[in-house]
Chain A
Amino acid sequence: MYSLNKALSAFDCAVLRQRSENTYELVHNNFPWIFELFNTSTSEASFNFPSRSLFLDDFIEQAKELWETSLDDQLNSGIWTEQLNKDLELHLEAIAINSKDEKLLVLHNQEQQFIQRQTTLQSARELVIANEVLQEQHIHVRRQFEKILLESRSLGDKIEALSDVIDHAQFGVLILDASMRPLLQNPAIFDLFDLPYEPSSTNVFNTLSDLARKQYPEFERVLSVRENWQGELLWMQPPFNTKWLKVTLYVIGDSDPDTYHWCLFVTDISRLKHLQQHNETLALHDPLTQLPNRQFFWRCLERFCANPDVFYVLYIDVNHFKQVNEAFGHKEGDRLLRELANRLKNTLKKKDVIARVGGDEFAIILSDINEPEHCQKIADRMQKNAHDVFTTEGDERYYISLSIGAVSYPNDGKNPETLMKYADLAAYKAKSDENQAVELYSSELTQRSSQRLTLESALRDAVKNDEFELMLQPILNLTSNRVVKAEALIRWNHPERGIIMPGEFIPLAEQTGLIVKIGKWVIEKGLALIQSIQSSGFRIKLSINLSPRQIRDPGLLSFVEKQLEKTDIDPSLLEFELTEGTIVSDYDTVSKLLNLFRQKGISVAIDDFGTGYSSLSYLKKLPIDDLKIDRSFVKDLASDDNDKAIVLAVLAMAKQLQLDVTAEGVEDSSQQQFLNEHDCELGQGYLFSQPVTFDNFISYLRTKN
């Protein structure tokens, strides 16, 4: 006992041994409050329950259950607060120990742990809560904005309504028109910068965009592709004024590229940053993933750039992160980030650095790597680890993928700003190309982003000058070899470059919102083609593609209704195609819309099936008529067993859900034979016909049907 006492004297604790059910004797005491706790005098050597502590009385009942077993085990109460009198508050923990012939109860003063946990969590929680409240207010104001901007009233009326909203907002608000001229700003945003309120001054925006460009190298790209964005800026006004500002950038009214607006929300978060910086672990750590944060990464990168040693920087963005949050809740989103952080960490060497630099963004320094192939190999491994299944707490399975951009030091850039800017650009490129897992930066990328701007303005002209053309690709019944359907496919006849394929301009149209106008043109033109086909004596269904942005356009349904009415076409001759990605990206909107289509008699097909991440449970709930198997699976059907298995699985699933299946990209008769044998009803591809003009389509119909 002597040595135990000696060991325990280092702790502020008391050890009690059970004598009878409710009586305990003191074995060791280095904890003066024990007598108060049991309301006994210091001369007493035994203690009786009930004590003065409700918590302890509750705990002792659980302890007794443990002591009744013969397990060598212990039970920990967790920290509780005991208010013994007005001025005496203790933070305690109890441990019940069952060892061979002893039933021990340890009371432990946890003051230190309590204070430590409280100081750490105080600022962490204030941050979380402040963020949530802020987010809530943003959403609230943003909804009102969208409503006002979409309503058809005069600009003057709109501005008046908007001012009403933002004058009362508790944070700075700045609304810019499409060419980035301030349209409206509230007094709060001038207060943030200690400037006098001048409604038409550009000072605030200029200051903000300068700061953002310097502190977030990706900012320029964000503006050019019109992404929503969020960041924390440090603003310094010599000599004493320093503020941390949280800036959120939203694009509003993006379905109409001619009237979209920028909206900036700015909040002073200096107090929270200050709290955070009190605590070094919080200041440089991301509490969620336990990885270093953006500030820390930046410091490391500066240090690496001061040396001649080669390295690569990877910028990683999680695809479909928003969907996981929406489908399974934020808690699952958090779990995903933690799990992913671990998987990424496991692919790295000790000297490498990994950090969480944004909501769903990670950055990595791969030390001592010079060869692009080597970097590629590591990035591939990360991609592979990320592709492994994720499971929610409710045991639902889902998949994600990453967009990885890579730059090398010193080849691609020599300072942190350039490296991060290029890595972001490369990651962005990787995102737009589903099959490209990793994008290594090349100077071409910067060139391409300027080409992109040229293409964008040409595309705007194309909409005005009616430079598009709609082609038709027949879809055949694979047994009868008759044409039963056609897919409408758009081409762009560029006045100088000639024909441009949709793969090149549709993503751009989607990013810029021009897709909404182009899409309406396609629907109008498509319906006219259905009429013409009918007048030529055939009844053929036409399938038209819808993009994510079109789906989000609140005017889509009424537009379709109006066109159907105008042309008096049987809605069962119209089908809309959506990709899997579109469905998962905004499940609620899509589900509502598809049900309304179904009510009208319009059918729906899922395009590129198999490439996305939709689960069977999604499909079951949606009113879908047709699955289109992606061409990548059809291509190697004859030789690749994996592809074969996938196609067979899709066919089996479709049968169960009573859906039609169309195979895309059928190019030779062995594929047709395989599909035929396994009851795949429909097919399209070069084996039958490429997309053709209306006249050629009619001739084709004449030979086939």
Chain B
Amino acid sequence: MIAKKVCLLGPTGVGKTSLVKRFVEGIFSEKYLTTIGVKIDKKTVTIDDTEIQLMLWDMEGTDRYCGFQTRYLRGAAAYIIVVDQTRAQTLIEGMEIHKLVKEECDIPSLLVVNKSDLDASWHWTADELDHYKRHFNATAMTSAKTGENVETMFNDLASLAFGSTQE
């Protein structure tokens, strides 16, 4: 079976760990437990009749207490930048992380706007969002809480990862 490493990046508290939990275990918890270091989960998906084992690298959020760790990107086939639509600041920080990754490696990326079950209190207009989305191969609006779009998003991610290293 083909195995693909994918990384979940983004600021703290946007729902990276929750997305993985929803996808792999089908559960969600309101309680926030901050991630320390790295944790890898795996799950098999089928893309065009091919089974792919996704290795999901969930990492400590990038913030003032934890810098961005490029070394964990090694061997990754794709990554997602997760942001939270109740905090405008997370999009700005997400874009900064995106820029840092781009300097490091050239692999497909997905922008995930999470917490779609909540009201978007941020002030980005559709136009401004489009402007940001253009820097990614694809985007998705998800909710780890309701599960909305989570499966689809990870499948898209798997396709991106699969496509990126296929000869």
| Residues of chain A whose beta carbon lies under 8 Å from any beta carbon of chain B | 54-55, 58, 61-62, 78-81, 83, 91, 114, 117-118, 121-122, 124-126, 128-129, 132-133, 136-137, 139-140, 143, 287-288, 329-331, 334
Contacts and interface: CB of A to CB of B under 8 A. Distances in A.
B33 interface: yes
A78 B96 contact: no
B74 A125 contact: no
Given A128-B63, A133-B86, A118 B34 contact: yes
A126 B32 contact: yes
A133 B37 contact: no
A143 B90 CA distance: 20
Contacts of B33: 118, 122
Interface string B34-77: 10111110100000000000010000010111100101001100
B12 interface: yes
B121 A136 contact: yes
Contact of B38 (A55, A83, A143, A334): A55
Contacts of B89: 132, 136, 330
B146 to A, nearest CB: 19
Given A54-B55, A140-B123, A128 B38 contact: no
Q: How large is the interface on B (under 10, 10 to 19, 20 to 34, 35 or more residues)?
A: 20 to 34
Interface string B117-131: 000011100000000
A587 to B, nearest CB: 16
Contact of B86 (A55, A83, A136): A136
B4 to A, nearest CB: 12
A114 B34 CA distance: 11
Q: Dominant SS at the A interface?
A: helix
Contacts of A287: 64-65
B38 A124 contact: no
Interface in B85-120: 86-90, 92-93, 96
Contacts of B37: 78-81, 91, 114
A133 B69 CA distance: 26
A121 B87 contact: no
Given A128-B63, A287-B65, 11 more contacts: A54-B55, A62-B74, A80-B39, A81-B39, A121-B65, A122-B32, A125-B63, A129-B12, A132-B87, A133-B86, A330-B92
Nearest to B35: A81
Contact of A331 (B39, B55, B86, B96): B96
Contact of B65 (A55, A79, A125, A129): A125
A56 to B, nearest CB: 10
A78 B121 contact: no
Contacts of B69: 78
A122 B121 contact: no
A288 B36 contact: no
9 contacts: A54-B40, A79-B38, A81-B38, A81-B39, A121-B36, A132-B89, A140-B123, A288-B64, A334-B64
Interface of B: 5, 12-13, 32-34, 36-40, 42, 55, 61, 63-66, 69, 71, 74-75, 86-90, 92-93, 96, 121-123
A118 B40 CA distance: 18
B88 A136 contact: yes
Contacts, number: 86
Nearest to B55: A54
B36 A79 contact: yes
Contacts of A140: 121, 123
Contacts of B87: 129, 132-133, 136
A95 to B, nearest CB: 14
Contact of A125 (B5, B34, B39, B121): B34
Contact of A114 (B36, B55, B61, B66): B36
> Interface centre among B55, B89, B90, by most A CB within 10 Å?
B89
Contacts of B121: 133, 136-137, 140
A334 B63 CA distance: 11
B38 A329 contact: no
Contacts of B63: 125, 128
A290 to B, nearest CB: 11
A157 B123 CA distance: 25
B12 A122 contact: no
Given A118-B34, A136-B87, A329-B92, A129 B13 contact: yes
Contacts of A288: 64
Nearest to A89: B39
B31 to A, nearest CB: 11
Contacts of B65: 121, 124-125, 287
Contacts of B34: 118, 121-122, 125-126
Contacts of A91: 36-37
Nearest to A75: B71
A272 to B, nearest CB: 12
B161 to A, nearest CB: 15
Contacts of A329: 92, 96
B13 A125 contact: yes
B124 to A, nearest CB: 11
A235 B42 CA distance: 49
B137 to A, nearest CB: 24
Nearest to A137: B121
A118 B36 CA distance: 6
Contacts of A79: 36-38
A538 B123 CA distance: 50
Contacts of A58: 5, 74-75
Contact of A54 (B42, B66, B92): B42
Contact of A78 (B32, B38, B122): B38
B116 to A, nearest CB: 16
Contacts of A334: 64
> Interface centre among B39, B66, B69, B74, by most A CB within 10 Å?
B39
